[in-house]
Structure 1
Amino acid sequence: MKVLFDRTARRAALAGAVLMLAAAPAAFAQTPAPAAPPVIPVATPRTQTVSDTLEIVGNAEAVNQVKLVARVPGYLEQIHFEDGALVKKGDLLFTIQQDQYKAQLQQAQAQLQAATVARDHAKLEVGRYTALLKQRATSQVEVDHWVFEQQTAEANIDGAQAQVALAQLNLSYTQVLAPFDGQMGKHLIDAGNMVGASAQTAVLAQITQLDPIYVVANISSQQALQIRTNLDQRRLSLEELHKIPIEAALSDETGFPHKGTLEFVAPQIDATTGTLYVRGLIPNANRALLPGVFVKVRLPMGKVVQSALLVPQQALQEDQGGRFLLVVNASNVIEKRYVQLGQTVGSLQEITSGIDRNDRIVVGELWRASAGLTVTPKLTQIAQ
């Protein structure tokens, strides 16, 4: 019985082993192949010349802001604009009663005509009596009299012409025109009121030029001295000054979208504040900058970096150790590199240390990339 039991056990064990060997190929066939490394976009740092900059807070100021007044007395007849309207240089804004000034112009023109007739008559008499004098038919006294009359008439013509010009000027003052392209404020005097009659003439309205616009700021004396040091203590000429770029941004704007040039730098530091006044001129066609608004201002410090390394700002990450970039090494393995930052250039960030120009920086798919991961790098270009 025992022998029979042992044989049965051996047969069962042998059958189990056969079944295991038969199932093994199927099990090996179901094991998945290792996944391919993820494709990660990389780029080498962009190399270009950049200038060290200074960022300060300033204000926008109107280039021109004029209070419009009546230059001749009279009743205000018409207002030709809507409050807040944009106007062009030469547009008619106000009309003052013109009847009186038209009459004065006609009177001056009549006086000029009379003086011209008197001059022509005197000139004719001079010629006539000069001929009679040669024939000894008149005296020298008569000739001298008509010469005097001619010269007096010519002087009267000059005076009459001046009166005509003055009358035309006064008539032109009855139309108040826009002195430049700008935006009107609200009108301050209604039609029908007497204007221009007092020594302290009331303001009719105010017009403000918004394009271009000034951006003004004050830099500290230490910053001013640093700029001069970067320039080797050299003072810039006015032509050189007007070529220096200046950038501005509102508090809710990213980067510095408003670009212009430096227009004026005060010749001395204000002793009361210890600051130096600077002013830039910026195009403002869309009127995004309004006089009085606070702006961030960026100025060059005069120091130029010839071969700065720039990477996209989106490639930068941060942890407790500081700001870092992910770099793909020669073995296509991602490394973490802590870096030092320079200035911002548009959407790019200057890197002063931590990478070199041949490093492959991870610039996309950052959510998939991590230090120690083997990847398939896809080389791309950093946009300007």
Structure 2
Amino acid sequence: MSKHPRIARAAASTASLIWFFAVTSGCEKPAAAPAPAPPPFEVNVQRIESRDLEWTPSYLAQTSASRAVELRARVQGVIIERLFTEGRQVREGDVLLRIDPRPYQATLDAAKARVEEARARIAETDRAVLRKRQLVESEAVARKELDDALTAQSLAAAQLARTEAELSQAALNLEYTTITAPFSGRIGKTFVEPGSMVDSGSNSLLVELSRVDPLYVSFHVSEREILETQAALESGALALVDDIEHLRIAIELIDGKPYAHEGTINFRSVDIDPATGTAEVRAVVPNPDELLKPGQFVRARGRGWTRKASIAVPQRAVMLSGATAMVYVVGQDDTVEARPVTVARWQADEWLVQSGLASGERVIVDGLMKIRPGGKVKPVEKAE
């Protein structure tokens, strides 16, 4: 046995390692061949075709009553009767409130009496003038007496005119004690109750009345859009089905649901608001079921416009980054090109393209995240 067992074991281990590396180095496999390139991704494309499109510009709009008034007292007095329920429909001429009429009835009666007195005075002066004229002709009295009689006659006529005016005002004030609906509509908030003291000054507000059928829908169009629209009309790129005064307006509720009735334009501001750079446009919309309420926000979409020879692409095909828009176009050799485009605005589910695309080109509409510019794809054309 060796006197140095540790040295012997170390030598044996070293020999084993040398043998292992020698064996394994002889067993190394040759390098693998490169993997074949993956097949092109299949993408859906749409072939762009120039076509006439209905142009439906959309605007955020707000509704308002087509007629709204604050009914106010025109005479002083105490409210003695209220003949309506808040929020209910009333008809034109319906009596809404009554003010105590007794003081005004008394004033009217007194005015009538003064008128009768003035008429009697007129009759008296007429007779006096007739007598004086006869006496003057017979030279029984001086001419001055006839002149005095004529003056009295004129004063009596003036007095009659004044008392008749007072009578008319008294009758009008009595009429003002009965407050009626000036038009058919819906009663709003009431500011008085029976027993309230009202007057024709600061304490005159009685009740609000609004007509909500039809309803007004107002929106604002920017100065830039007005100029662009005028230029498009002049160039023939945009056409009107009817004259602009009869343009139809479709209404869309804020939840996206369409409203059943279309309206027509009935007002266009002639001025541009310098604070906003916009002009107001208003449509009148039927509201027979009163589904729309004054003050409600809706979307107003113009109808009756046609854009000639337009190019449109699905919204999902357009990538936006700030003010920049881009689409992926598939070339003749199925190579992908990133193409900057200029979009006008969108409607429905399409962007209208002003420049950057030509009729007949193929635009990728699905699978945008799988592709890169310069790469090959397998286009599958789908009609939109």
Q: TM > 0.5 between the two?
A: yes
Q: Quote the residue 1:118 is aligned against.
A: 121
Q: What is the CA–CA distance in structure 2 between the aligned matches of 1:301 and 1:108, rounded to whole Å?
A: 62
Residue 229 of structure 2: aligned partner: 227
In structure 2, relative to structure 1, the CA distance for the partners of 1:256 and 1:211 (3 Å cut) is closer
Describe the shift of the 1:138–1:272 C-alpha distance in structure 2 as closer, same or farther (beyond 3 A): closer
Identical-residue share of aligned pairs (%): 30
Aligned-residue offset at 1:270? 2.9
For the 8 Å contact 1:260–1:281, the answer to whether it is kept is yes
* Equivalent pairs, count: 264
- Cα displacement string for residues 68-115 of structure 1 (whole angstroms, at most 9, x for unaligned residues): 221111111000101111011221111001000001111111111111
Match of 1:53 among 33, 52, 56: 56
Does 2:58 align with 1:66? no
2:86 to 83, 86, 93: 83
Match of 2:213 in 1: 211
Does the CA-based 8 Å contact 1:249-1:257 persist in structure 2? no
Deviation readout 1:15-57 (Å, 9 max, x if unpaired): xxxxxxxxxxxxxxxxxxxxxxxxxxxxxxxxxx974221122
Q: Which residue identity does 2:223 align to in structure 1? A: S
Task: Tell me how far apart the structure 2 counterparts of residues 286 and 204 of structure 1 sit (CA, whole Å).
Answer: 27
Listed as ranges, the gaps of 5+ residues in structure 1 are 1-48, 309-317, 323-341, 345-352, 355-384
1:128 maps to which residue?
131
Q: Does 1:153 align with 2:156?
A: yes
Counterparts in 2 of 1:51 and 1:98: CA distance versus 1, 3 Å: same
Secondary structure at the counterpart of residue 213 of structure 2: coil
TM norm structure 2: 0.62
Measured in 1, the distance between the counterparts of 2:293 and 2:212 equals 7
4+ long deviations beyond 4 Å: none
Decide whether the 8 Å contact of 2:65 with 2:294 is kept in 1.
yes
- Secondary structure in 2 aligned to 1:207? strand
Residue in structure 1 matching 2:140, options 124, 137, 140: 137
State the SS of the aligned residue for 1:89. Answer: coil
Q: Is the 8 A contact 2:248 2:304 kept in 1?
A: no
8 Å CA contact retained: 2:80, 2:194: yes
Cα offsets for 1:211-233 (capped at 9, x unmatched):
12110112233322222123329
Amino acid in structure 2 at the alignment position of 1:207: L
1:298 is displaced (CA, Å) by 0.9
Name the structure 2 match of 1:45: none
Greater Cα shift, 294-303 or 159-168: 294-303
Aligned 1:3-82 pairs, distance under 5 A: 51-82=54-85
Q: 1:76 to 1:84 in 2, by over 3 A?
A: same
Amino acid at match of 1:126: V
Letter in 1 for 2:62: N
* Alpha-carbon separation, structure 1, partners of 2:271 and 2:258: 31
How far the C-alpha of 1:209 sits from its partner, in A, is 1.3
Residue in structure 2 matched with residue 270 of structure 1 by the alignment:
273
Residues 279-309 of structure 1 deviation map (CA, whole Å, 9 limit, x = unaligned): 1111222212111111110114744669x9x
Q: Which ranges of structure 2 fall in alignment gaps of 5 or more residues? A: 1-51, 237-241, 319-345, 349-358, 361-384
The match for 1:251 is 254
Q: What CA deviation, in whole Å up to 9, does each residue of 1:314-347 have, x standing for no partner?
A: xxxx9x999xxxxxxxxxxxxxxxxxxx977xxx
d(CA) in 2 for partners of 1:250, 1:263 = 21
Of residues 91-100 and 55-64 in structure 1, the stretch that sits farther from structure 2 once superposed is: 55-64
Quote the Cα distance in structure 2 between the aligned partners of 1:191 and 1:61: 30
Candidates 176, 179, 184, aligned match of 1:176: 179
Distance 2:235 2:72 in 1: 48
2:112 is equivalent to residue 109 of structure 1: yes
What pairs with 1:222-371 in structure 2 (closer than 5 Å)? 222-232=224-234, 241-252=244-255, 254-300=257-303, 302-303=305-306
What is the CA–CA distance in structure 2 between the aligned matches of 1:298 and 1:188, rounded to whole Å? Answer: 38
SS of the equivalent of 2:301 reads: strand
Q: Is the 8 A contact 1:210 1:290 kept in 2?
A: yes
Matches of 1:94 and 1:55 in 2, distance apart? Answer: 44
